[in-house]
Amino acid sequence: MTNIRQPYPAKYTTPFILYPPSLWANSLGGEFAHRNLDLDGEGRDYVMYISIPFCRVRCHSCLYYIDILPTNDTKKKEARYVEALAADLKRWASHKRWATGSLRSVYIGGGTGSILSTQNLQRLVDTVCDSFPLGEGCSITLEGNARDYTPDKLDYVADSPIDRVSLGVQSFNPDMLSVIGSPHAAEASSRTIHELTRRGFDNIQVDMMYNLPGHSRAIWQSDLEQLRNLGIKHFTIYLYRIHDDTPQARFIQVGQVPPPVDKESTYVKNMYLDAIRVAEDIGFEMYMFDHFAVPGYESTYNEWTFKKSSVVEVLGVGPGAYGFVNNYRIGTSKDVAQYIAAVERGEHLITSASEQLTGQTLRERYVINLLQYFAVDFKAYTEYFASDFLEDFRPAVRRLLAKGLATVDRDRLVMTDLGKEWRMNVMLEFANEAFWNDARAREHPNWAMNLPMVDLFAGQRQMWLGTADDGEEELVGAVV
């Protein structure tokens, strides 16, 4: 019988499950979009991710670094990119698939979404709003750095279609920000939040990091306490990670920076609990893993992409962007010059793609993403797939029940506290065994956030999930 506190051989902790894992080099070039994405087909609900592929500096352990945009920008990088981006957006909008669909949420990220000048930011937002059919309540999020918010940008954002701002605060401690090479500044974060709030803009989300090199619980608790008085409505916490082949990995190797504490230590787990306690104390709820919000201020972009994946499409535009169209996962190279050249040729640049997803893989993708919200609702599943969840995933559900990782009633499968602790392994239970032991995708271009998945599935399923023993538990209210 499985040890109830150690349900798997090892805990997988990287917080991204991008499914199916493998992406392959696109050999069709600009023809891929026209041959495979059914651009003249009838549209449906979709969200949009727009990549602004520039940063002022490279954070020391950033895996997703794209390109530096200097403040003087003598080579007009920003202007040339925005010109291409606007043309690409209009070209996508000209296809029936997007013209007849309903755009539900937009996320302007990167890189650094807020790095654009106010004029270029307005041009981008106007292009989206004028070119695409915005669904009722369509939300537009601008991600970025508090230092980018000049007075004119604050005025524009507060009076624009942008209705949500996400700031990468990371920490309010200057020493911690220096250690991780962050471009953010504690006083700038507080000031920008205050200035937006003063202008009547209240939907503000901040990113916080814990277990930074040299990060004490006292500093972390102080960071969390500062959230109380800022008037924000949402915050997200991220465990600091050291990625190979980054400056931070080298700094640690030579002893210039201390390594973070073991992420499975009691110390780090208590940091996580600190965040939960503060969130509860100020009236926030953890509505999905590591995301806390005042009720009513949950991320609508996440709601559409995670709760309805395999049903809602993702139009990713720009270098480093990821999409999900006509049941293909697609990605675009981070090369800005390559992207601009493709747009000028009249092409939609797609450098990598998955195989087209079909029945079972679509259902697996849906469940894996939905579990970010701790549960699977059987009625919604049946409405989307005309199928029965417990029948489709009987072996996985039986394993979860036997290990004490989930419970089942007549309406839902719900993660237990132990299941939440081992959440990434629980999600992997629903991955198709055929995708494991596949190292081929390592040789193909991959979206940066996809790399951990490619490495994971190059290995053996047994390493993370053990044997495929179905367990002994019965499914309450279901025929097994």
pLDDT tens string 323-349: 999 999 999 999 999 999 999 999 999
Work out the angle between the directed axes of helices 77-93 and 336-344 (0-180°, nearest 10).
50
**pLDDT at site 407:** 98
Q: What does the chain come to in residues?
A: 480
Question: The pTM is what?
Answer: 0.94
**pLDDT at site 73:** 85
**pLDDT at site 469:** 60
Other Cβ atoms less than 10 A from the Cβ of 71: the count is 6
Do residues 282 and 293 lie in contact, with contact meaning Cβ atoms separated by under 8 Å? no
Q: Which amino acid is at 428?
A: L
CA 104 centroid distance within chain: 17
Task: Quote the CA–CA distance of 294 and 204 in Å, as a whole number.
Answer: 11
Q: What top-level class would CATH report for the domain 1-22+358-480?
A: mainly alpha
**pLDDT at site 1:** 42
Are both 1-22+358-480 and 24-307 of the same fold? Answer: no
Dihedral sign (CA 301, 303, 309, 312): negative
User: What is the homologous superfamily of the domain 24-307 according to CATH?
Assistant: tm_1862 like domain (3.80.30.20)
CA 239 centroid distance within chain: 14
The closest alpha carbon to 447, from 336, 356, 324, 321, belongs to 321
Pick out the chain residues at pLDDT < 70. 1-4, 64-66, 184, 468-480
Task: Quote the CA–CA distance of 420 and 269 in Å, as a whole number.
Answer: 13
Do residues 81 and 122 lie in contact, with contact meaning Cβ atoms separated by under 8 Å? no
Q: Residue 471, by phi and psi: left (phi above 0), alpha (psi -120 to 50) or beta? A: left
Dihedral sign (CA 332, 336, 337, 341): positive
Helix (H, G, I), strand (E, B) or coil at 164: strand
**pLDDT at site 152:** 98
pLDDT per residue as tens digits for the range 130-184: 999 999 999 999 999 999 999 999 999 999 999 999 999 999 999 999 998 887 6
Task: Quote the CA–CA distance of 414 and 374 in Å, as a whole number.
Answer: 6
Domain chopping of the chain, boundaries: 1-22+358-480, 24-307
Q: Let me know the angle formed at the C-alpha of 207 by 234 and 178, rounded to the nearest 5 degrees.
A: 150
Q: Let me know the angle formed at the C-alpha of 381 by 380 and 385, rounded to the nearest 5 degrees.
A: 120
